[in-house]
């Protein structure tokens, strides 16, 4: 078809080599199992031949992996992380060319991951050293071994939140076992959309002897606090019905499905510390809660029928806007997939407190995010859903929607927290969303050029750039009376 881009060839030699080694096979054994010649198997592993569709299907059958296992999304994401690590000015190393970084992530992913992990631990150690060197109560540095100012212990081998994010990403933000158990529990309790709190409280009482009580109104309380000794589950009195049901479902997951949560988190290569495992376990319990309040089959059907209208789904299932967005990012059941979304929550200062992705969109670990992203514009239009077609430096385009949400605020003097939540997908899926109506999806001029943060963004003509990219600096443009980036090897002012 004229004008249609050619299909991208799949070179998955590193992944195929890993599969073979995990199963203690040599190339001859693998070639025999796949029904191909040994020379062809060798050429595939050396990256000289791409994978054909028949071979891909045969590999999926023999090794028991989904065809998406060979998606290049993981490689692209690893290349982004590696570029961010090498671009860190604290490391003081010249930044290799983008093509070399991409090749390193593709051909030697384990080495690339090791470098990213080493950099992450270096940053953690540097932050800890800075905290220990901070002046003490009398203006003198704290002695080595003193607990950190926040009272915490020394940092674990990996940053728990980053490791948990990697863990969920490795599973494409979908856990079929939890979805299945949640559907069974929803059916067994008779809980329906918007009326799950009562049946869940009754199940907790009957099966686990747990009594649900309101926490005191006069003190700041967590949304949920469980006292195992007394069997009391304290819930904040300020929770909405949907939030109350979510907390009850989370507690039910911890009590009834602890072994399943442990099994999913145990042995995950992304989780390298007890803190990471514990945090992942909580995340999995929250996943179960969302799946129970919005059972997969019913929620997927409603989402498709309503063209992913978040406010309609929120009203139908009795949960908040943010909760629906989070659930939409998990719809990756084989045979009944939804739109693959990326989801995040950010505050005005640019701190990302939630990020999940079932797509190949990569969130930057370092250097912040792009101010041209619609998620930041949402703060200027509270409560409105803002769409955006965004184009990344590599040419990939995504469709994003963003809206603000507010937490707290019960009483004139009560503190409030405001966030922007965003949901995005590859542009090819945008026509399935009600929010794309009236948007010029096929017009390149309608796309906003964004990046992953100024430090690693390759765009050199961005008026919003706050700092030079790695390997470059800013030169004065006398005509525009501003600063423009140029390469170090270029001319000097």
First-last CA distance in the chain: 49
Q: Which residues of 221-234 are buried (b: 16+ CB within 10 A; e: fewer)?
A: bebbebeeeeeebb
CA-to-CA distance for 85 and 117, rounded, in angstroms? Answer: 9
CA dihedral of residues 241, 242, 247, 252 (deg, nearest 10): 100
Stated as kind and residue range, the H or E segment containing 255 is helix 241-256
Structure tokens at 80: 């982004």
**For the chain, how many helices (H) and strands (E)?**
17, 13
The tens place of each residue's pLDDT in the chain, 493 residues long, gives 444 444 456 667 777 888 888 788 889 988 898 889 998 888 888 878 888 888 888 888 888 776 666 666 677 777 777 777 777 766 667 778 777 887 787 777 788 878 887 877 777 677 666 656 555 555 555 444 444 444 444 434 457 888 898 899 888 899 999 999 999 999 999 887 878 999 999 999 999 999 999 887 755 557 899 999 999 999 988 899 999 999 999 999 999 999 999 999 987 888 988 999 999 999 999 999 999 999 999 999 999 999 999 999 999 999 999 999 999 999 999 889 999 999 999 999 888 888 887 666 666 554 457 889 999 999 999 999 999 999 988 788 999 999 999 987 777 778 889 999 999 999 999 999 999 999 999 998 889 998 877 777 777 778 888 777 665 544 444 454 444 444 433 333 3
In whole angstroms, what is the distance from residue 154 CA to residue 164 CA? 19
What are 53-56's contacts with CB under 8 Å, separation 24+? 56/10
Q: Say which CATH topology domain 13-70 has.
A: 434 Repressor (Amino-terminal Domain) (1.10.260)
pLDDT at 252: 97
Residue-level pLDDT at 352: 85
Residue 157: per-residue pLDDT: 46
User: Taking the CA atoms of the chain, what radius of gyration do you get in angstroms?
Assistant: 25
Query: What integer pLDDT is reported at residue 300 of this predicted model?
Result: 97
Q: Is 270 left (phi over 0), alpha (psi -120 to 50) or beta?
A: alpha
Within 10 Å of residue 389's Cβ, how many Cβ atoms?
A: 22
> DSSP string spanning 136-153?
-TTSSBPPTTPPPTTSPP
Inter-residue contact 444 to 456 (CB < 8 Å): no
DSSP bridge pairs for 233: 212, 226
Q: Compute the distance between CA of residue 223 and CA of residue 248 in angstroms, rounded to an integer.
A: 10
CB 361 within 8 A of CB 398: yes
SS3 385: coil
Residue 195: DSSP 8-state: B
The residue with tokens 């200062």 is: 349
Name which CATH class applies to 339-459: alpha beta
Residues 435, 290: Cα–Cα separation, whole Å: 23
In sequence order, what are the residues at sequence separation of 6 or more whose Cβ sits closer than 8 angstroms to the Cβ of residue 480?
Answer: none
Question: In the structure encoding, which two tokens stand for residue 46, read together?
Answer: 């050396």
3-state SS assignment for residue 470: coil
Check residue 192 and report its DSSP letter: B
Q: Residue 383: in which H helix or E strand, if any? A: none
Alpha-carbon separation of residue 457 from 207, 348, 367 (angstroms): 54, 21, 10
Write down the pLDDT at residue 311. Answer: 97
Cβ–Cβ < 8 Å for 422, 375: yes
Backbone angles phi, psi at 482, to 5 degrees: -145, -170
**Cβ atoms within 10 A of the Cβ of 35, count?**
10
Structure confidence at residue 301 (pLDDT): 97
**SS3 of residue 485 by DSSP:** strand
Asked whether this chain's domains 13-70 and 339-459 adopt the same fold, the reply is no
Q: What integer pLDDT is reported at residue 151 of this predicted model?
A: 40
- The domain locations on the chain are 13-70, 156-323, 339-459, 464-493
Length of the chain: 493
Work out the angle at residue 422's Cα, subtended by the Cα atoms of residues 418 and 423, and round it to the nearest 5 degrees: 155
Give the burial string for 264-303 (b: 16+ CB within 10 Å, else e).
bbeebebbbeebbbebbbebbbbbbbbbbbbbbeebbebb
Rounded CA-CA distance 171/69 in Å is: 10
Q: What is the pLDDT of residue 306?
A: 97
Task: Using DSSP, state whether 339 is helix, strand or coil.
Answer: coil
d(Cα 363, Cα 344) in Å, to the nearest integer? 9
The Cα–Cα gap between 468 and 455 comes to 7
């Amino acid at each position: 078809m004229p004008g249609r881009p050619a299909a991208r060839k799949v070179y998955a030699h590193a992944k195929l080599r890993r599969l073979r080694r995990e199963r203690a096979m040599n190339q001859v054994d693998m070639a025999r199992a796949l029904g191909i010649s040994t020379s062809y198997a060798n050429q595939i592993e050396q990256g000289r031949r791409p994978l054909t569709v028949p071979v891909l299907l045969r590999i999926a059958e023999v090794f028991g992996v989904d065809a998406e296992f060979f998606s290049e999304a993981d490689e692209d994401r690893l290349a982004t992380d590696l570029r961010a690590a090498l671009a860190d000015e604290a490391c003081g190393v010249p930044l290799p060319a983008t093509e070399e970084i991409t090749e390193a992530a593709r051909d030697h992913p384990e080495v690339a991951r090791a470098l990213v992990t080493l950099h992450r631990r270096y940053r953690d150690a540097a932050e800890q050293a800075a905290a220990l060197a901070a002046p003490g109560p009398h203006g003198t540095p704290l002695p080595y071994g003193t607990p950190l100012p926040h009272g915490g212990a020394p940092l674990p081998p990996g940053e728990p939140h980053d490791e948990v994010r990697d863990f969920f990403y490795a599973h494409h933000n979908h856990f079929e076992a939890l979805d299945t158990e949640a559907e069974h529990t929803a059916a067994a309790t008779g809980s329906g959309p918007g009326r799950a709190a009562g049946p869940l409280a009754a199940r907790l009482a009957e099966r686990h002897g747990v009594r649900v009580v309101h926490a005191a109104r006069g003190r700041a309380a967590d949304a949920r606090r469980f006292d195992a000794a007394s069997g009391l589950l304290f819930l904040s009195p300020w929770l909405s019905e949907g939030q109350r049901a979510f907390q009850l479902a989370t507690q039910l997951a911890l009590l009834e499905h602890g072994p399943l949560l442990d099994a999913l988190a145990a042995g995950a290569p992304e989780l390298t510390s007890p803190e990471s495992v514990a945090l992942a376990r909580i995340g999995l319990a929250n996943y179960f809660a969302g799946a129970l309040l919005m059972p997969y089959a019913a929620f997927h059907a409603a989402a498709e029928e309503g063209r992913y209208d978040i406010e309609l789904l929120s009203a139908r299932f009795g949960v908040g806007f943010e909760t629906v967005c989070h659930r939409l990012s998990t719809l990756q059941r084989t045979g009944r997939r939804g739109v693959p979304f990326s989801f995040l929550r950010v505050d005005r200062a640019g701190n990302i407190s939630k990020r999940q992705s079932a797509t190949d969109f990569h969130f930057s670990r370092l250097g912040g995010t792009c101010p041209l992203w619609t998620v930041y514009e949402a703060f200027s239009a509270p409560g409105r859903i803002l769409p955006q077609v965004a184009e990344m430096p590599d040419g990939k385009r995504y469709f994003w929607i963003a809206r603000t949400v507010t937490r707290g605020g019960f009483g004139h003097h009560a503190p409030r927290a405001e966030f922007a939540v965003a949901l995005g997908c590859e542009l090819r899926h945008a026509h399935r969303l009600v929010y794309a109506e009236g948007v010029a999806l096929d017009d390149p001029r309608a796309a906003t050029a964004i990046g992953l943060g100024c430090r690693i963004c390759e765009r050199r003509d961005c008026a919003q750039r706050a700092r030079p990219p790695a390997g470059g600096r800013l030169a004065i443009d006398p005509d525009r009376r501003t600063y423009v980036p140029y390469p170090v090897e270029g001319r000097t002012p």
